[in-house]
Structure 1
């Protein structure tokens, strides 16, 4: 039975995916959670309710596009990170659905962190599933996470992750969404801010703050607010925001390369799908980036991790 179902119910997106371990292909479906115009996200209770409404639809769409399949196991994102105190209620929705599916079909359910799902999806998209079971450095930059982690082989978690560097305050994805909201963009703002920044006709000097390798991001929002009050164009403010985030990524990558020379660099999370960031970091460091659809929240990685836990060699 080569098919593995993955479910991910983050604070941004309802996602489900099927991994065909025989062909190595992933089919996935996802839908952003509805956010009122002008809002910068959802309360956990609202996110849970949205997933309850959207997950059945996503699963129906996923299986409708497939011939009848027999599932071998289900993987589900049950927590944000590989830490005992890591918890978000929205992941309970996916866990409930996964548990029900596994009980009816009498198949295993494997729990993973949302972060590990991101890493696995990035490896799949970049054609580097051969790194499963190896040591590498992974960057996870999203609305809820700004982290550089050292990845080693794990047992039940598949990836054993240790945070090397992180944000001491605001996350880079949060800063992008807040600046986007300031400019009248919809949430999440990454895609629209990316498009705006490409039309900028002015650049501003960027100054970042790091303490022991960890970044401080909160000042970025204040700097963008100042530019807006000074009458600067939306395009130029967007470019300054992206340039600032890019410099943070660049510094973290440089620090990681110095501390762990020779290890592959993997970039995941919605922030990493930005055109300018992707281009600059790729030119200076190489590394491997997920395509945008596998960089933003998705369940592809979780379906692949389920196969690995079930003893399937994926790389």
Structure 2
């Protein structure tokens, strides 16, 4: 007998729904919110309102694309956290209402755990145990993944995340939001000829606040000397910033691999869509004899397929929640 799960993701500014059957993704639909480009960042109130508009059409689209009927759904998985509380409320409320109307079990999912398990939506899957570098706008972590639902964070940012460093740099340079993909594109046209410091953080933890400050001071100094500095050097600035962020991430990941002896290495999270990070990991893997795993782009950013995959493994272990469940803005893996 097959197991079909409806999955809901609404942790930030993307409304997503997916249908997962027996651990395979049948459909994965996402509605993006362009309104935040006007403000240079996600506006929580605007995000939650957009989720209210998008969630029903997205869910209906996912069910239709999967070629199933609502009666075939056996459970509902949803992102409980971490994320923006207003955005989470929309997804959690919809999931609870849908489950209650059809008397279906509910499965809460940790958004960051789901990013890791996005790898199991792919044909080629990492072997346990593996290391996963999870990089997004709000989180930067290195985890040892011992089983589907058994993970240990061994390194994380002590302040800002790598994705935030990309976005704040973009704001300094006058780029649209989200700046990460724009910096990535411009960096391919430039050379990393400007030097930015690498934080000296002990152990496997990260820090990006100092890097952001050094970029700010650098830009201010150069613009004071030449008002056209940004326009004349935009691609090289982007290439230099991106090179440093990637080097920080890979340096810590390499250290983690050496300390643990694990050679199965995975990448996850929104920033894993960055071309320099993807190619850098592959190059390190070839040099060090790692088996490396990088999800397709559609499974890197926030998506419901990863929620459904996680929900599938939680269902097999009987990990359900009741209608009293509420969203949480912060939730450790």
TM-score by length of 2: 0.82
The answer for the alignment partner of 1:55 in structure 2 is 55
Residue 146 (structure 1) aligns with: 140
Q: For residue 210 of structure 1, give the secondary structure of its aligned residue in structure 2.
A: coil
Aligned to 2:310: 305
CA deviation map 1:82-118 (0-9, x unaligned): xxxx883422221111111111121211001001111
State which of 215, 220, 226 in structure 1 corresponds to 2:211: 220
Paired with 2:59 and 2:267, the residues of 1 have a C-alpha distance of 28
- After superposition, the C-alpha distances for 1:251-277 in whole angstroms (9 at most, x for unaligned) are 121121022112522210111111111
- Indicate conservation of the 8 Å contact 1:141/1:270, yes or no: yes
Partners of 2:160 and 2:307 in 1: CA distance:
27
Tell me by how many angstroms 1:245 deviates.
Answer: 1.1
The Cα offsets for residues 122-172 of structure 1, whole Å up to 9 and x where unpaired, read as 3323621x64xx43222111001011122233xxxx523322111122111
Cα distance change on mapping 1:41 and 1:26 into 2, 3 Å: farther
Measure, in 2, the Cα distance between the counterparts of 1:73 and 1:121: 19
Q: Which one has the largest radius of gyration? A: 2
Cross-structure match for 2:320: none
**Counterparts of residues 110-129 of structure 1 (less than 5 Å):** 110-125=107-122, 127-128=124-125
Q: Could you tell me which residue of structure 1 aligns to residue 96 of structure 2?
A: 99
Distance 2:44 2:212 in 1: 24
Match of 2:176 in 1: 186
Aligned partner of residue 206 in structure 2, secondary structure: strand
CA distance in 1, matches of 2:116, 2:300: 9
Within the candidate set 69, 73, 78, 2:80 is matched to 78
Q: 1:60 to 1:298 in 2, by over 3 A?
A: same
- Please say if residues 11 and 84 of structure 2, whose CA atoms lie closer than 8 Å, have aligned partners that are also in contact: no
Query: Does structure 1 conserve the Cα–Cα contact (< 8 Å) formed by 2:136 and 2:162?
Result: yes
1:135 corresponds to which of 129, 135, 145: 129
**1:73 touches 1:307 (CA, 8 Å); kept in 2?**
no
User: Using the alignment, how far apart are the partners of 1:186 and 1:127 within structure 2?
Assistant: 35
Normalised by the length of structure 1, the TM-score is 0.87
Quote the offset at 1:227 in angstroms. 4.3
Q: Deviations for 1:32-79, whole angstroms, at most 9, x for unmatched residues? A: 233343524234333222211111121122223232331111111101
SS at match of 1:212: coil
1:192-214 superposed Cα distances (whole Å, 9 cap, x missing partner): 11111000045233421132222
Consecutive unaligned residues in structure 2, runs of 5 or more: 223-228, 318-333
Q: Distance in 2 between matches of 1:302 and 1:149?
A: 18
Corresponding position of 2:236: 236
Do the aligned residues in 2 keep the contact of 1:121 with 1:290 (CA within 8 Å)? yes
Which is further off, 299-308 or 107-116?
A: 299-308
The number of residues matched between the two structures is: 299
